[in-house]
Structure 1
Amino acid sequence: MNETTTKRLAEVADGVIRPLNQTEQKSVVSLLKDAAKQQPAIAELLAQEGPLKAFVTSALSLSPYLRDMAMLDPATLALALEEPLEPLLESLVADARNAWRGEDGGAVATEAQVMTRLRTVKRKLSFITALADLARIFDARDTTRWLSSMADACVAAAIDHLLLAGEDAGKLRLSDRQAPSLDSGLIVLGMGKLGACELNYSSDIDLVVFFEAEAGILVSPEDATETYGRMMRRLVRILQDRTGDGYVFRTDLRLRPDPGSTPLAVPVEAALLYYEGRGQNWERAAYIKARPVGGDLRAGQNFLRELVPFVFRKYLDYAAIADIHSIKRQIHVHKGHGAIAVKGHNVKLGRGGIREIEFFAQTQQLIAGGRMPDLRLRPTEAALHALTAARWIDAATRDELIEAYWFLRDIEHRIQMVHDEQTHLLPETETELRRIAYMAGFGDTTSFSARLESVLKTVERRYARLFEQEEVLSSASGNLVFTGQKDDPDTLKTLKGLGFERPEDISRVIRTWHYGRYRATQSVEARERLTELTPQLLKTFGESRRADEALLRFDSFISGLPAGIQLFSLLTSNPALLDLIVNIMSSAPRLAEIIARRPHVFDGMLDPGLMVELPTRDYLAKRLASFLQGSRHYEEILDRLRIFAAEQRFLIGIRLLTGTIGGAQAGHAFTDLAGLIIAEALKAVVAEMEAVHGRIAGGKVALAGMGKLGSFELTAGSDVDLILLYEHDDEAGESDGAKPLDPVRYYTRLTQRLIAALSAPTAEGVLYEVDMRLRPSGNKGPVATRLRAFEKYQFEEAWTWEHMALTRARLIAGDGALMDATRAVISAVLAKPREEARTAADVAEMRTMIDKEKPPKDNWDLKLIPGGLIDIEFIAQHLALIARGRGVAAEVDGLSTAEALKRLGASLMDPNDLELCLVALKLYTELSQVIRLCVDGGFDPATVPAGLVDLVCRAGDSPDLKTLEAEIKRLSKAVRKVFQGVVKG
């Protein structure tokens, strides 16, 4: 028997570890005395003073988990004291591998028997390995190898049991019941540390399961997904369910392709298609260590051979290398500039930790492994040796990293031996840190900390030489790991620290991006850009108010994008654009919803001139003409109008959101856009009518824009008030087309078609909601009005409120001569003599009626509050009606409310009152434009995004909401007094 296999625990060196304290050690001795009654070996241990007794009592004082195991199963402690270690462990691994077999060659073992056997042998091996490790009879290489061997045996045995159970249930046909996995086509790969035979002491095991449909063992091939899915759920239960005997290994199946949307066992063909088309760079890195551990081992090797071109590319483009670098950017932990904290440090993922060494090797394996097959090795140490042989790294680097790797693995094992927990964090307290230091063979925490810091700095220095961007990486705010499907605890902490309240949801969303489930993230290049962008994206979103909601809106936006690479590249190189997107997502739900529903509107943001060019009428007209060029068919024109209007409304809104234009400019731009769109829609409708019904002799139409459309004060969410007027020859009969209509029906039909052209929902949405209630006789009258009828009605029947509405009328489209004639009629109506007191009484009565029938919802209902927008508009309209009676020119056609007030109020109002109204109107306009842009419905500070509250305060030029609310109350109260003074009715 060679020296290795004859090693015994009795060979432990004197003072290899020390007890946590004397009290703990005495407590352990007392417990061992009870166990000694059944186990002579333990009695003998206690009877003799020496290194072995000191070691065992120290080890059990330092590890509550080992102490509990010794008390639960003292026979295993006795075995460890008496037997050579490696033969003992070999027998335990063999017992695990055969756990599926019946006793004495009898019937197949039951599932309960398999579970008990696996738990028992795993517990024994873990206990004995830990003692050998702490005694320094084993080093970390031995420990990881034995733990990995046990995991292999347990997985393989469980798979054999499940295959036999499948045959017994009539689901499978096996080729050999004595070797169930042989030629089964069921592939179980061990990933990560299991694949590299480097398993942690308390590690999860990562498995990926595939099956070959053509293996022929399925009785009903069409049930493959269900049959294997059920089998894998049982596999997880066998391995990780906690019973009275404990558990075997926590088992994770989420490294399979796109785990959120694929079954637990994936067909080989589907897997190969996935990796070829959508495989990610982190998956390439993961497959460096992949190894068949159970099921059909030969099929597993064949599968991995087919994956070689995916994992090890012959040519690696720069973008892919950048993406590999960005994986490290995601996992980097920053704890101070230049100082590595020991307490609380993550020895796996922290700076200078195990992951950096693994990543150091894996990155270079990915880059060069396609051309150099000798680099395709699973274990980290072997990879570092291979990189040295290939002259990718020097021997000094290799030696430093290998020494650091195994030292850190030692520390990792000791952290996990304390309570059998899957953790990599050093304790925060001095007492618990002392426990780890003693387990590692140090006499105090000072010397331990000094050694650990030295190792971490060595690793960090070596890693920094490999990656030029280390300085950038070190400014990250913490762990950001989104590989696999399992949440990384430190990543959740980082997300919390960045400002996210629901880090689990955010982590899940980002994993969705990485799996390419959206069209925008299906290409490898798009995912590479997005991976690179993710840290900055999270940082920027985290700085916004209600960061979770904002990022979820961004996710909704990405989900609708047809492609992503251009956007992600642009955001990476353009922080200002990223800030703008975050601004939208965090403060403007309405805009966020628009770009999520219709991502094409975002295209305009890619225009570098967006913030430079103002959206004047000429600017919009040129853009619209260009956009409509080549459109011939009616439906095509209407769709293009919808696309253009949606994009330009959005871009006007962006300018308003960023402060490039103010509220009044936005109102003018929204109105110019509407005028151009409506004019084009009218032309298309007229052409369509003439094509079907012909023309009316002398027929012509004109459109009057009323309300905010007339006064250049539309908001992002405004509907449009229209009146359609027409004229024709007196002797005109029916139209001259294939389907003739008389004039009334002709222009009624034309108006109805115009309303539908503007407001009917199509695949491209709605242009504008149309309101025609301001026509003569309102909803009771015809939708189209002949000009002479309109003139007669306005002079003989119209109420004062209808003349008030005419003060904001503006001709926006149609036949030029008819538009001029209509202007003349409106001007004559507004110029007719009026009894001033009667007019004032009518205006006041109208305002009172609105107060009663449509009271304001709250103080933010800026239109309806007493002293709000309606009061100011009514003041301007009242002055326009009485101006001529006082000898003042009253032409207000095409003026905004503010411009009309300035023109009329200069002669008809007290200067202070006029100034007050203009100040209030400016504030109301700024606030209304921002609010209507960002949310549908009213503004409720308690429910709107916090970012919108900030925007509203900025628009109101106030430091906070309380100050702004006070200013609104002050101005509205003053405006109401002015209204009552001006409109003396």
Structure 2
Amino acid sequence: MTDTPDAGLIKHLANSPIRAPSQKAAKSVAADLKPLAAEHSEIAAVLASDGAPREFLLAALALSPYLREIALIDPQSLALAVSVPAAYLVASTIGDARDSWRNADGTLATEAELMRHLRRAKRRVSLALALNDLARLTDARHTTAALSELADAALGAAFDHLLRGGHEAGKLTLPDPDNPSDNSGLIVLGMGKHGAHELNYSSDIDIVVFFDPAAGVVKDRDEATEVFARMVRRLVRIMQERTGDGYVFRTDLRLRPDPGSTPLAFPVYAAMNYYESRGQNWERAAYIKARPVAGDIEAGERFLQELVPFVFRKYLDFAAISDIHSIKRQIHAHRGFGDIAVKGHNVKLGRGGIREIEFFVQTQQLIAGGRMPKLRLRRTDEMLVALARARWIDTTTARLLVESYWYLRDVEHRIQMVRDEQSHTLPESEAELARIALMMGDVDTKSFGKSYVRVLTNVEQCYADLFEKEQGLSGGVGNLVFTGDDDDPGTLKTLADLGFERPSDIARVIRTWHYGRYRATQSKEARERLTELTPELLRVFGATKRADEALLRFDAFLSGLPAGIQLFSLIGNNPGLMSLMVTIMASAPRLADIISRKPHVFDGMLDPGLMAELPTRAYLAERLENFLEGAQAYEEVLDRLRIVALEQKFLIGVRLLTGAISAERAARSFSHLADLIIGAALEAVREGMEEAHGRIPGGRVAVLGMGKLGSYELSAGSDVDIILLYDHDPDGDDSDGPKPLDPVRYYTRMTQRLVAALSAPTAEGILYEVDLRLRPSGNKGPVATSIRAFSKYQAEEAWTWEHMALTRARAVCGDKSLCGEARALIDEVLARPRDRAKLLKDLTEMRTLIEQEKPPRDIWDVKLIPGGLIDIEFIAQYLSLTARAEGWQPAPEDDGAAGLLTGTDPDRIAQPVDHNECTSTDAMLKVLGPGALGEEITESLRHALALWSGHAQIVRLCTESGFAPKEAPAGLIDLVTRSGETPSLASLEAEFKATSRRVRTVFQQIMA
């Protein structure tokens, strides 16, 4: 570029470096310019020539609709651009813009006048720079610098106007009203490319505004924040409101500290406190390029000097370096741009693009800048040279990256020159890509693509060499920027593409994480780990059908977490766990609550064979034994029981949630676990009783499991129904310990201690809620029952419903001999002859009473609905009672060795006696149904039982309440439809209704 006043753009063109897309396009531009030539001799001179000047101008305006529009709206700017040297024209226009806040006589211009003048200046500078850039009379380095100077001038003029206006209105007292910004304490920092004099052709400007209350320009210091915040709001309007003259610069304020909860203008002391205590690594990177651009320049320089220890640390730990790398992954990676390409490639964020060069530089600045002040420069190209001089990189790499950087900036500028859009993406269509290729001076898209890919490949290789240990650094889910207050459009698009329906809300939530507003994210280390995880978390959350709800549930989980570093590290080092975490958050708030309260349960997920290994009784017994090993004190045993029980219940639930086990297997596993836990608790209680009170002569104890525990049908969160039976020598005395007790009080106290051991809340929670109401005489009877009293009660006093309950009873732990006697006694009671008519009458009355007192909520209340679980259980229990009375006896169960279980004392067992399989509802139907009801009806009932039980297992696992589709958490509907083997909720509802009718019909036929 020349500074000779009589040597404008046109006089320097011996050949046009670009050509129009077609003759038709060139003729169209010529037709548009013809009327302008009549009034502007400079334009007429160009059109009259038949050489390079005419060809160039028509090509430039044909390729860029934006430049063509400026020329038609403002022909004077075009006339100047083709006749006046760009350096002179741009400098004089910027100078005029800087003084446009006041009139020639020194009075304050109106805001409308200021806005009009700045917009016309932007238009004139944009046209002149674009034409000279396309003509190759200047380059991207000069274009970016001039655009940055124009932004400085516009901001300076606008803030001077606002300060002077505040002074004249009596709100401010300026030290020098003729130079409003001087000593005003108002600090305006240009960030990013603006700060580095590297603005894009159609770039936003990123600014941060601080003020020093000590400057004393605001009369009422209590109003200072609001006064300057209003000033910044007006500044944004002046800069970016679109009028008939266009706009100046879109203005972004999101890089200020914690923008979601701070004012637009920030006191300097508060800013320093923030950066010293909560400043994040991405903010350190942002401040590398920060520069005072308006307001009190000297105050801005002092502020940045004070920030040097924050930005350029003397030492940098590996976690911070990892966080810097994660910034690259968040901002750089674009889905679809993972591979080097031409069409649709993002020149800024795509692989091998501008961002990789910037991160190549900035990462090394953050690492070494604390020890080497020479590496604290702002401009990317200057820093590459400085890195080479400091021998951080070789000169060949520096030269290659500098050339690549300005080539890519050229491409970026041409993308934006087309329509003045803040885009960085090459067009997908051949015709639009050809436009960019021609503006770059290439003959066609093939030639352009070859050069473009070569540059990208070189950059990618340099970047990979720098971060060779960081695999997949350029891969990711998309543009993810959570800085500032306003939403980044690219980030919103990425979130929407990932599957989030309310991307703006999701962006706000994630900003909350990064600003450390939760206890779990207050530490720098926790934020670094979470920053690292965020892209993958979003990808996995986005894959769920209700991504927003899933992530909001995870947010609620984070908000209650006392600390986050352990969990973030755990799931960060185990990618499979992250997917599982998302599944839990999307479908199972009950499990999510367990994790939030007891994060240690997640440790069990580290077992690589977890999903492949079934949670059988032997599997669970081994883990329980290992965990209890070495525990001596009673309280320690109970605490360990709570820890292992919670973990194993969680892991059984996770297997069910992921489909690794069936609902039936989960029910059996929950029941096996309860057997083992109750047995271990009973042994601990027994040892405590014997230590305090000695032994009862001939004393024996057994625990009966009733209800769903007895029938192997426990679900997550189920209560346990138990009856404690005991026996002793009829002529025996009190216990033989230091504090003797008679047998009744002894076993009463043992029962009370067992209940407390299982259900008393401790720091580790509770094991199970315990229900003793199925004991003889219910709540009116003693809590412990002698075997003789139990036998007499069942023979003489028990109601029909109590015998129905006995069909599901089994001994779960205790002395082997007493367990066997209890089983025999129960079989004897159930085998007694029955009046079938009375039995049916009692069953009908009980079912009617239940329907009256506990009507079902809706079709999803599978326990209580007509034809639901209760109807099937009543049918099975009816079959069991009548079959036994007619001579049927259950066969011993192979699994469990007929109750012969291991233990140190051959007369005691700490595990349940599984005498037979016929305590479960399905077993009763399977064994008894075909003969009594026929194969078809039996299979129909078993299918219904599996449907209801599977649904109940999933719902109890995932929630504390019943299933309500309108309030169901994300993912739960998918789980219940999967459990019901239907494609949709509507199909499942139809299946439920049909199944309910079939079962109720069978029930009514039997009862009739």
Tell me the TM-score normalised to structure 2 length.
Answer: 0.81
Match of 2:99 in 1: 98
Per-residue displacement from partner, 1:124-163 (whole Å, max 9, x unpaired)? Answer: 2222222222222221111111111010111122222222
Map 1:710-749 onto structure 2 (within 5 A). Answer: 710-719=710-719
Code of the residue aligned with 1:173 in structure 2: it is: T
1:350 aligns with 2:350: yes
Q: Which residue matches 2:955?
A: 931
Which residue of the partner structure matches residue 80 of structure 2? 79
Deviates more, 1:920-929 or 1:311-320: 920-929
Q: Is the 8 A contact 1:193 1:199 kept in 2?
A: yes
Equivalent residue for 1:26?
27
Residues 323-332 or 962-971, more deviating: 962-971
Q: Classify 1:806/1:170 alpha carbon distance in 2 versus 1 (closer, same or farther; 3 Å).
A: farther
Report the Cα distance in structure 1 between the residues aligned to 2:445 and 2:546, rounded to whole angstroms. Answer: 42
3-state DSSP of counterpart to 2:403: helix
Quote the offset at 1:364 in angstroms.
Answer: 1.9
Counterparts in 2 of 1:161 and 1:974: CA distance versus 1, 3 Å? closer
Checking the alignment, whether the CA contact within 8 Å between 1:888 and 1:904 is kept in structure 2 is no
| 1:684-763 aligned within 5 A | 706-719=706-719
Partners of 1:404 and 1:459 within 8 A in 2: yes
On the 8 A contact 1:620/1:673 being kept in 2, the answer is: no
Are residue 124 (structure 1) and residue 145 (structure 2) matched? no
Change (3 A) 1:450 1:863: same
Once the two structures are superposed, what CA deviation does each residue of 1:483-526 show, in whole Å capped at 9, x if it has no partner? 55555545445444444444444444444333333332333322
Partner of 2:250: 250
Find the counterpart in structure 1 of residue 412 from structure 2. 412
Instruction: Assess, with a 3 A threshold, how the Cα gap between structure 1 residues 902 and 40 changes in structure 2: closer, same or farther.
Output: closer
- Secondary structure of residue in 1 paired with 2:206: strand
> 1:102, 1:904 → 2: CA distance?
97
Is the 1:550–1:586 Cα contact (8 Å) retained in structure 2?
Answer: yes
Equivalence for 2:580: 580
Shift of 1:200: 0.9
Superposition RMSD on alpha carbons, in Å? Answer: 5.0
What amino acid maps onto 1:317 in structure 2? D
Q: 1:267 to 1:643 in 2, by over 3 A?
A: farther
Q: Secondary structure at the match of 2:392?
A: coil
Cα distance change of structure 1 residues 928 and 15 upon mapping to structure 2, 3 Å threshold: same
Aligned equivalent of 1:690: none
Residue aligning to 1:696: none
Structure 1 CA distance, aligned partners of 2:404 and 2:475? Answer: 24
Q: Distance in 2 between matches of 1:315 and 1:590?
A: 44
> How far, CA to CA, are the matches of 1:8 and 1:568 in structure 2?
61
Q: For residue 443 of structure 2, what is the aligned residue in structure 1?
A: 443
Provide, for residues 732-778 of structure 1, a one-character-per-residue CA deviation record: whole Å limited to 9, x for no partner.
xxxxxxxxxxxxxxx99999999999999999989877878768898
Which amino acid in 2 is paired with 1:196? A
SS in 2 for 1:377: coil
Give the deviation of 1:204 after TM superposition. 0.2
Partner letter of residue 64 of structure 1?
A: P
Given candidates 893, 901, 910, the residue that maps to 2:931 is: 910
For residues 401 and 424 of structure 1, the distance between their equivalents in structure 2, rounded to whole angstroms, comes to: 19
Distance 1:448 1:919, change over 3 A: closer
Post-superposition shift, 1:416? 1.2
Distance 1:907 1:478 in 2: 60
CA distance in 1, matches of 2:91, 2:454: 37
1:734 equivalent in structure 2: none
Counterpart-to-counterpart distance in 2, 1:476 and 1:870: 51
State the alpha-carbon separation in 2 of the partners of residues 624 and 61 from structure 1: 78
| Distance apart, 1:262 and its partner CA | 1.9
SS in 1 for 2:100: coil
Match of 2:514 in 1: 514
User: Does the 8 A contact of 1:873 with 1:897 survive in 2?
Assistant: no
AA in 2 matched with 1:346: N
Q: TM-score, normalised by structure 1?
A: 0.82
Separation (CA, whole Å) in 1 of partners of 2:38 and 2:368: 61
Q: Map Cα deviations across residues 818-866 of structure 1 (whole Å, 9 max, x no partner).
A: 9999999988876765323311332245446656876766766543456
Contact 2:437 2:443 in 1 (8 A): yes
Are the counterparts in 1 of residues 561 and 597 from structure 2 also a CA contact under 8 Å?
Answer: no
Query: Could you tell me which residue of structure 1 aligns to residue 321 of structure 2?
Result: 321
The residue aligned with 2:692 is none
Match of 2:262 in 1: 262
After superposing the two structures, state which structure 1 stretch, 156-165 or 717-726, moved more: 717-726
Q: Which residue of 2 aligns with 1:691?
A: none
Indicate the percent of aligned positions where both proteins have the same amino acid.
61
**Stretch of structure 1 that moved more, 46-55 or 324-333:** 46-55
Give the aligned residue type for 2:949. Answer: T
Q: Distance in 2 between matches of 1:337 and 1:121?
A: 39
In structure 2, what is the Cα distance between the partners aligned to 1:479 and 1:122?
Answer: 29
Residue 591 of structure 1 is matched in structure 2 by: 591
* Counterpart contact for 2:748–2:783, Cα < 8 Å: yes
Cα 1:325/1:901, change in 2 over 3 Å: closer
> For residue 886 of structure 1, what is the aligned residue in structure 2?
886
**Hey, what does 1:472 align to over in structure 2?**
472
Shift in alpha-carbon separation, 1:791–1:328, aligned structure 2, 3 A = same
Answer yes or no: is 1:41 the counterpart of 2:17.
no
Tell me if structure 1 keeps the 8 A contact 2:3–2:85.
no
Distance 1:253 1:968, change over 3 A: closer
Superposed counterparts of 1:559-708, under 5 Å: 559-596=559-596, 602=602, 605=605, 614=615, 649-659=649-659, 662-671=662-671, 706-708=706-708
Please identify, of 543-552 and 896-905, the stretch whose mean Cα deviation from structure 2 is larger. 896-905
Partner of 1:60: 61
* Matched residue count: 954
Alpha-carbon distance change, 217 to 100 in structure 1, aligned in 2, over 3 angstroms: same
Cα distance in structure 1, aligned partners of 2:152 and 2:225: 24
Quick one: distance in 2 between partners of 1:31 and 1:957? 68
- 2:800–2:839 contact (8 Å) kept in structure 1: yes
Distance 2:317 2:93 in 1: 48
Is the contact made by 2:890 and 2:918 (CA closer than 8 Å) also made in structure 1? no
CA displacement at 1:235 relative to structure 2: 1.5
Quote the offset at 1:332 in angstroms: 2.6
Query: Deviation digits for residues 881-923 of structure 1, max 9, x if unmatched?
Result: 4466434569999877654775898579629659746666456
Aligned amino acid, residue 375 of structure 1: L
The structure-2 alpha-carbon separation of the partners of 1:263 and 1:395, relative to structure 1 and needing over 3 Å to count, comes to: same
Residues 712-861 of structure 1: matches in 2 within 5 Å? 712-719=712-719, 799-808=799-808, 834-847=834-847, 861=861
State how 1:890-969 maps to structure 2 within 5 Å.
898-899=919-920, 902=923, 910=931, 913=935, 916=939, 921=945, 924-935=948-959, 937-938=961-962, 947-948=971-972, 951-952=975-976
C-alpha separation between the residues in 2 aligned to 1:539 and 1:598? 26
Please state how far the C-alpha of 1:384 moved relative to its aligned partner. Answer: 0.9
Q: How far apart, CA to CA, are the structure 2 residues paired with 1:725 and 1:221? A: 79
Unmatched 5+ stretches in structure 1: 687-699, 728-746
Q: Which deviations, in whole Å up to 9, do the C-alpha atoms of 1:78-108 show, x marking residues without a partner? A: 33344333233222222222222343123x3
Q: Secondary structure at the match of 1:536?
A: helix
Change (3 A) 1:683 1:103: farther
* Counterpart Cα distance in 1 of 2:579 and 2:834: 56
1:127-206 to 2 correspondences below 5 Å: 127-206=127-206
Question: 1:308, 1:346 → 2: CA distance?
Answer: 33
Aligned mates of 2:393, 2:269 — CA distance in 1: 38
- Segments of 5+ residues of structure 2 without an aligned counterpart are 687-699, 728-746, 893-912
* 2:257 partner SS: coil
Residues 940 and 121 of structure 1, relative CA distance in 2, 3 Å threshold: same
Q: Which residue in the other structure is 1:239 paired with?
A: 239
Task: Give the Cα separation in 2 of the matches to 1:4 and 1:574.
Answer: 66
Cα 1:628–1:97 shift into 2, 3 Å: farther
